[in-house]
Amino acid sequence: MSSLDRFIISADHALRTLAGAVHAARPNPADGTPARAAAAPELDAEERRLSGALMRVNHVGEICAQALYQAQALTARSPELRAQMVAAAREETDHLAWTQQRLQELGDRPSLLNPVWYAGAFGIGLLAGRAGDRTSLGFVVETERQVEQHLAGHLDRLPAADTRSRAIVQRMAEDERQHADAALDAGAAELPWPVRWAMRAVAKVMTTTAHRV
């Protein structure tokens, strides 16, 4: 496949991601839990608002994950790394579909800034990929570790009665841990602390903004 073909596929993927035209390949982990009704009657109004805000942040995270993995796949120097990035992106598509479905059930909406988040994450992914495969893998490790911590915090904040959101977040955290471990096994380089700090600062801005907008 030529570079132009990969770019066209990546652009098509971006449009489908932002349009919400995504479908999970795996069953939704929330399917075994009660209260599937859109209004989530097991939650009061305040709990629904909190769950909606947290799941919107998680949905934004998955928008960014798609952009990052697509950009890193485009810039990967080895076919093996490209295949690893594409496979991880497919699993992240499940997360995107699950969080999108849960937002709909809660009667809430995605972030209005999703195109901005996607564009920014894609640019960061390009920079990471251009730095070389080991650095790109190191970026995956740091990103997924930060996401895992972020999801653990959401499990602490989600209402206890919101078993559907909690099931989704728990499965997402497990997948993120596996992605980080796979990147380590593939030879990831440790990123310098200023880079890790900058990544945390950018993530903080994104999560704080997406909680409301």
Q: What does the pLDDT average to over 114-124?
A: 94
* pLDDT at residue number 35: 52
Q: What is the pLDDT of residues 165-192, one digit of tens each?
A: 999 999 999 999 999 999 999 999 999 9
Q: Is the pLDDT of residue 33 over 80?
A: no
pLDDT tens-place string over residues 69-103: 999 999 998 999 999 998 888 899 999 999 999 99
- Give the mean model confidence (pLDDT) for residues 110-115: 95
42 pLDDT more than 80: no
Q: Grade residue 47 by pLDDT with cuts at 50, 70 and 90.
A: very high
Q: Domain spans of the chain? A: 3-16+44-210
CA distances to 5, 48, 172 from 127, in Å:
20, 38, 25
Distance CA 163, CA 46 (A): 16
What average pLDDT does this structure show over 200-213?
91
d(CA 100, CA 111): 11
Whole-number mean pLDDT of the chain? 91
pLDDT at 2: 65
Token digits for 189? 């380089």
Per the structure block, which two tokens stand in for 24?
Answer: 């999970």
Asked whether the beta carbons of 18 and 63 are under 8 A apart, the reply is yes
Class of domain 3-16+44-210: mainly alpha
Q: Which residue has the higher pLDDT, 10 or 158?
A: 158
SS3 of residue 39 by DSSP: coil
- Residue 37 above 50 pLDDT? no
> pTM for the full model?
0.91
- What one-character-per-residue DSSP string does 72-124 give? HHHH-SSHHHHHHHHHHHHHHHHHHHHHHHHHHHTT----TTHHHHHHHHHHH
104 pLDDT more than 50: yes
- Tens digit of pLDDT for each residue in 60-75? 999 999 999 999 999 9
